[in-house]
Amino acid sequence: MKIALIILNYNNLVDTQNCIESVLNFNSASVKYIVVDNASKKACRDSVGNFLAEKFSSMQIFGENEKIDSALPDCSYVLCEENNGYAQGNNEGLALAYQDEEIDYVMILNNDIVFIQDIIPPLINILKEDAKVGIVSPLLLKKDGNSIDYNCARKQTSVLQLFLEHSSLIYKFYFLKKIYDRKMVLKHIDKLSGIVEIELPSGSCMLMSKLFFKNIGSFDPNTFLYMEENILYEKILKTGRKNVLVLGLRAIHLGASTTKMTPSKHMLEYTKMSTIYFMRQYLRTNILAINLMKLLFYFRLKKNS
Band (25; pLDDT cuts 50, 70, 90): very high
Amino acid present at 228 = E
| pLDDT recorded at residue 178 | 63
pTM, whole model, 2 decimals? 0.93
Q: Please state, for a pLDDT cut of 70, what percent of the chain lies above it.
A: 93
pLDDT digit string, tens, across residues 248-265: 999 999 986 544 445 688
Comparing 12-16, 141-145, 195-199, 298-302, the range with the smallest average pLDDT is 298-302
The alpha-carbon radius of gyration of the chain (Å, integer) is 19
Q: Which of 108, 158, 178, 138 is nearest to 289 (CA)?
A: 158
Q: Which of 44, 43, 33 is nearest to 7 (CA)?
A: 33
Domains and CATH numbers, the chain: 2-304 (3.90.550.10)
What is d(CA 8, CA 204) in angstroms, rounded to the nearest whole number?
Answer: 10
Q: What is the mean pLDDT of the chain?
A: 91
String of DSSP letters for 234-250: HHHHHHT-EEEEEEEEE
- Region 62-69: mean pLDDT is 91
| Pairing verdict, β 153-154 and 200-201 | antiparallel
Q: Kindly report the CA angle at 232 between 231 and 233, in degrees rounded to 5?
A: 90
What is d(CA 282, CA 200) in angstroms, rounded to the nearest whole number?
Answer: 14
